[in-house]
């Protein structure tokens, strides 16, 4: 049996996969089993920060593998400690808990928020306000946090204590911040929800209200983080200091690692025995993440912003593009043609696009070249002709 057949017989059929089998890649270029070349404008859904098979990243990870790939969290390991130091130095956060995915990072964030409130105020203050159209993960609790009814039709009962308000409606948010609320959790650019950035004024009014009421502000940077939006974390562009930041996707550069970054208020909330993960912060993934974060310096991030501006400008002149949204290299496109049609035509012509709701979504590797951008956008223009 070939891979398509094996997958459809033996793998749980939770994904509507495109008929492409990736077998190799380099940077922003992927190759399928027939040797066909694609420009990958999705980078594994914002995970392959430096694209496929990045030499420096491979060297960092394999050096760690050759030394030891894993031990338990009962012992000290240097990649984990150094990564936490680097993240704190770069963000102003105080401590980091490591898990293995975005959903897990959000679970950790939710646990930290509820424990902070319980330790300080006791029971009855566990509610968390999130936004309509948000996406926070696939576990039962992060599905409950996700403000989209389509995710709440099966798997009942969900974790209690979440409510959802419409994005950019300050009054609705303030009204929801009642005495039983311990945290507000937001994505600064809703990713899966359609690449919708929040208004800056709205975000700063949430931050101010949270501060006044000792409600924790959790920013879900699973997708927006790790250079994706043109700064190391998107919150830097919104002039806020979150209490908790969760991240994952691009952090490991293609290896699974998630992080819950804890600010001053909650830095000691997750005490010994209160949370844990067998693989969390494991040396191989942490070595990959250390390589990623240390390379996302100011010069590199300026280049991400320049590429973003370049793409936004080019998209504005492509016929059939109705509107463009997003931040950095996280870009949503409303086009005249239906998104599934564009994606199928892209596969045919050698470009891999993503979707987010009804939009076409671009999440290219951050080191994509201008030539590759030109090539991909020329094909998009051709498709939209
Ligand atoms: C992808 C994503 C998640 C879930 O991450 P997983 O690694 O799939 O668990 C959570 N929040 C946001 C904003 C995401 O984009």
Q: What is the dihedral of CA 126, 132, 135, 136, to 10 degrees?
A: -10
Q: What digits encode the pLDDT tens for the residues 309-325?
A: 999 999 999 999 999 99
Identify the three-state secondary structure at position 200. helix
Q: Which helix (H) or strand (E) holds 3?
A: helix 3-10
Tokens read off for 366? 């951050």
Kindly give the confidence (pLDDT) of every residue in the chain, 385 residues in length, as a single tens digit, with 9 standing for 90 and above: 999 999 999 999 999 999 999 999 999 999 999 999 999 999 999 999 999 999 999 999 999 999 999 999 999 999 999 999 999 999 999 999 999 999 999 999 999 999 999 999 999 999 999 999 999 999 999 999 999 999 999 999 999 999 999 999 999 999 999 999 999 999 999 999 999 999 999 999 999 999 999 999 999 999 999 999 999 999 999 999 999 999 999 999 999 999 999 999 999 999 999 999 999 999 999 999 999 999 999 999 999 999 999 999 999 999 999 999 999 999 999 999 999 999 999 999 999 999 999 999 999 999 999 999 999 999 999 999 9
Task: Determine the pLDDT at residue 356.
Answer: 98
CA 103 – ligand 1 centroid, Å: 6
Determine the Cα–Cα distance for residues 362 and 353; give it in Å rounded to an integer: 6
184 DSSP β-pair partners: 129, 217
CATH, domain range 68-295: 3.40.640.10
Question: Is 366:300 a contact under the CB 8 Å cutoff?
Answer: yes
Q: Which residue has the tokens 């993934």?
A: 285
SS3 of 337-383:
CCHHHHHHHHHHHCEECEEECCEEEECCCCCCCHHHHHHHHHHHHHH
130 lines ligand 1 (CB under 6 A): no
Mutate to test the pocket of ligand 1, among 98, 146, 191 (most ligand atoms within 8 A of CB): 191
Spell out the residues 6+ positions from residue 364 whose beta carbon is closer than 8 angstroms to its own. Answer: 28, 40, 41, 42, 43, 329, 372, 373, 376
Task: Using the atom order of ligand 1, give the atom closest to the CA of residue 249.
Answer: 7
CA dihedral sign, ordered 335, 341, 344, 349: negative
Tokens read off for 200? 């800056």
Task: Determine the pLDDT at residue 328.
Answer: 98
Determine the Cα–Cα distance for residues 109 and 137; give it in Å rounded to an integer: 12
135 lines ligand 1 (CB under 6 A): yes
Q: What digits encode the pLDDT tens for the residues 51-81?
A: 999 999 999 999 999 999 999 999 999 999 9
Q: What digits encode the pLDDT tens for the residues 204-255?
A: 999 999 999 999 999 999 999 999 999 999 999 999 999 999 999 999 999 9
Domain boundaries, the chain: 3-53+298-384, 68-295
Identify the three-state secondary structure at position 144. helix
- What predicted TM-score, i.e. pTM, was given to this entire model? 0.98
Q: Which residue has the tokens 């009204």?
A: 175
Question: Is 277:105 a contact under the CB 8 Å cutoff?
Answer: no
Tokens read off for 139? 């576990």
Q: What is the dihedral of CA 283, 287, 288, 290, to 10 degrees?
A: 130
184 lines ligand 1 (CB under 6 A): no
Q: Does domain 3-53+298-384 have CATH number 3.40.50.1000?
A: no
Strand 162-165 relative to strand 127-131, pairing: parallel
248 lines ligand 1 (CB under 6 A): yes
CA 48 – ligand 1 centroid, Å: 14
């Amino acid at each position: 049996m070939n891979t398509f057949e094996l997958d459809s017989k033996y793998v749980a059929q939770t994904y509507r996969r495109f008929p492409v089998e990736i077998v190799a890649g380099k940077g922003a270029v992927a190759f399928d089993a027939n040797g066909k070349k694609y420009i990958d404008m999705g980078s594994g859904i914002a995970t392959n920060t430096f694209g496929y098979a990045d030499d420096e990243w491979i060297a960092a990870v394999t050096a760690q593998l050759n030394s030891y790939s894993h031990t338990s969290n009962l012992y000290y390991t240097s990649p984990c400690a150094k990564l936490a130091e680097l993240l704190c130095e770069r963000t102003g956060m105080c401590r980091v808990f490591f898990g293995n995915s975005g959903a897990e990072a959000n679970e950790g964030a939710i646990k930290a928020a509820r424990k902070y409130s319980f330790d300080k105020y006791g029971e009855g203050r566990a509610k968390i306000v999130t936004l309509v159209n948000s996406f926070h993960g696939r576990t039962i609790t992060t599905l409950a946090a996700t403000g989209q009814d389509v995710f709440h039709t099966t798997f009942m009962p969900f974790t209690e204590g979440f409510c959802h308000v419409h994005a950019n409606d300050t009054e609705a948010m303030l009204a929801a911040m009642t005495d039983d609320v311990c945290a507000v959790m937001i994505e600064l650019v809703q990713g899966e929800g359609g690449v919708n950035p929040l208004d800056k004024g709205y975000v700063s009014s949430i931050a101010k209200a949270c501060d006044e009421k000792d409600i924790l502000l959790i920013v879900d940077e699973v997708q927006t983080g790790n250079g994706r939006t043109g700064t190391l974390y998107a919150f830097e562009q919104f002039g806020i200091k979150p209490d908790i930041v969760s991240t994952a996707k691009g952090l490991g550069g293609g290896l699974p690692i998630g992080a819950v970054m804890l600010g001053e208020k909650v830095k000691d909330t997750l005490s010994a025995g209160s949370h844990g993960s067998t693989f969390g912060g494991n040396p191989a993934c942490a070595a990959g993440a250390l390589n990623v974060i240390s390379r996302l310096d100011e010069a590199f991030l300026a280049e991400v912003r320049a590429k973003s501006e370049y793409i936004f400008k080019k998209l504005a002149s492509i016929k059939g593009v109705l509107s463009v949204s997003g931040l950095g290299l996280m870009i949503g496109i409303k086009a005249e043609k239906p998104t599934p049609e564009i994606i199928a035509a892209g596969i045919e012509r050698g470009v891999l696009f993503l979707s987010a709701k009804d939009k076409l979504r671009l999440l290219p590797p951050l080191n994509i070249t201008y030539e590759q951008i030109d090539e991909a956008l020329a094909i998009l223009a051709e498709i939209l002709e």
